[in-house]
Amino acid sequence: MTRTSSHERRRLETLDAAALEAHQLARLNALLDAMLPSNEFYSRKFAELSRPLRSLEQLAELPFTYKAELLDSHQGDRCSILTFPPQQYVRYHQTSGTRGRPLVVLDTVEDWQWWLECWQYMLDAAHIERGDRVMMAFSFGPFVGFWSAFDAVIDRGAMAIPSGGLNTRSRLQMIQDSRATAVFCTPSYALHLAEVAAAHQIDVAALGVGKLVLSGEPGGSVHATRERIERAWNATAFDHSGASEVGPWGYSDHERRGLHVIESEFIAEFLSVETGKLAGEGELAELVLTNLGRPGMPVIRYRTGDLVRPTWPREGPSRFVLLAGGILGRNDDMLIVRGVNVFPSAVEHILRSFPEVLEYRMTAFKSGEMDQIKIEIEDRLNEPARVAEELQLRLSLKVDVTCAPLGSLPRFEGKGKRFVDLR
């Protein structure tokens, strides 16, 4: 695909609604032309589709795509979701498998270049420039993770520093030795790096890292978590979001209030949690995405399961839809405890506001027919009552909070697994 300049990205970000819709419609029709009829999966789903589409309103008439369908599309050596013959694919990755068996995702050379183009919006937002030295603090396994970010950083002309196979102490040493100016990792791992550094008398705030790109968890847009990370590192943190089966779709807004969807490369729809219909401004909704530049393994109207609150900016450096607060949670994680909607990200925001609370774990369980939660915390003060009081004040919910021994709860390099669902 043709590479976009920073000037072109800024132009696309400020298109008015009509111009953006025209751009998306042209991209969508081009995608459909590229993938049909050779894509068996979508040829079946869209058997009655008349092309070209005349408006984006027709997109809403097409069926949704679910992850279970994508998993079922892989039958032995056959994969009906692929558009091209297997020999055209050069990248093999898997989803993380945190919610079931991993999904294999394949990309052609052109598809992978599209990934890098999407990442340029994130690199713009985080002010990654030529001359930056970017530490990729993650394991280089089959999970797509920051693989695309690694290549995008090189594509921009900055230095990408791999750290797969290193332990946390060794990564801290490499950050120091390489004079890294930026670190890409999960929010959990940014906190863990700072914790291990303190234990070894290393001042991460003095390492010279000025920028942190956080992904894999909602923490980058959770104010208390981001603030805690920034204070520890003396750096500015930026949220990013993506998914292996969809692509890198979200980047931090100018004021870091949430995430913009890259609407030049994705069509975003929002389904109201309450009504199941299209959501209005600020309404709690599930994010549905269509990627526009990945014909080798496309997803059309993909139900992400991510819960968000969309707002449509009318001014500012980007008019792309803004998800206030980023990803608020997942539709299968939302709890209703004694009539109160509880998101794990809301609990995290409260717990991270206590500087003495090092780590936590929240467990959901059934008591009779009712959902309940309990929380374990590592607390330097060993005073769980004050945390329980704040949870009750902020959530209007009485929660059982107990202390675990310092250092006993799990730490995470990848996606944090602090929410245990026993229901």
CB 405 within 8 A of CB 353: no
Residue whose tokens read 């609370």: 357
Instruction: Note the Cα 365 to chain centre separation in Å.
Output: 26
Do 66 and 159 lie in a common domain? yes
Burial class (CB in 10 A: 0-12, 13-18, 19+), 184: buried
Instruction: Note the Cα 211 to chain centre separation in Å.
Output: 18
- How far is the CA of 14 from the CAs of 74, 250, 259, 313, 336, in angstroms? 40, 16, 16, 10, 39
Residue 260 phi, psi (nearest 5): -85, 140
Do 353 and 257 lie in a common domain? no
Do 219 and 292 lie in a common domain? yes
Do 146 and 197 lie in a common domain? yes
Do 95 and 2 lie in a common domain? yes
Instruction: Give the count of domains, the chain.
Output: 2
Taking the C-alpha atoms of residue 243 and residue 203, their distance in angstroms, rounded to an integer, is 33
Do 312 and 348 lie in a common domain? no
Do 311 and 359 lie in a common domain? no
Do 302 and 404 lie in a common domain? no
**Residue 165 confidence (pLDDT):** 86
Which CATH number goes with the domain that contains 397?
A: 3.30.300.30
Q: What is the pTM of this model?
A: 0.87
Which of 313, 329, 345 is the last residue in one of the domains? 329
Strands 104-108 and 89-94: antiparallel
Do 404 and 304 lie in a common domain? no
Which CATH number goes with the domain that contains 218?
A: 3.40.50.12780
Do 22 and 152 lie in a common domain? yes
Domain of 398?
335-421
Do 275 and 360 lie in a common domain? no
**Residue 339 zone, left/alpha/beta (φ > 0; ψ -120 to 50; rest):** left
Which of 310, 329, 348 is the last residue in one of the domains? 329
Burial class (CB in 10 A: 0-12, 13-18, 19+), 315: exposed
Which of 278, 298, 329 is the last residue in one of the domains? 329
pLDDT (tens place) for every residue of the chain, 423 residues total = 668 899 999 999 999 999 999 999 999 999 999 999 999 999 999 998 999 999 999 999 999 999 999 999 987 778 999 999 999 999 999 887 655 678 899 999 999 999 999 999 999 999 999 999 999 998 888 888 789 999 999 999 999 999 988 999 999 999 999 999 999 998 989 999 999 999 999 999 999 999 999 998 877 888 889 999 999 999 999 999 999 999 999 999 999 989 999 999 999 999 999 899 999 999 999 999 999 999 999 999 999 999 999 999 988 899 999 999 999 888 877 777 776 778 787 888 899 999 999 999 999 887 666 678 899 999 999 999 999 999 988 888 889 999 999 999 988 777 777 888 777
Coil, strand or helix at 405: coil
Do 386 and 309 lie in a common domain? no
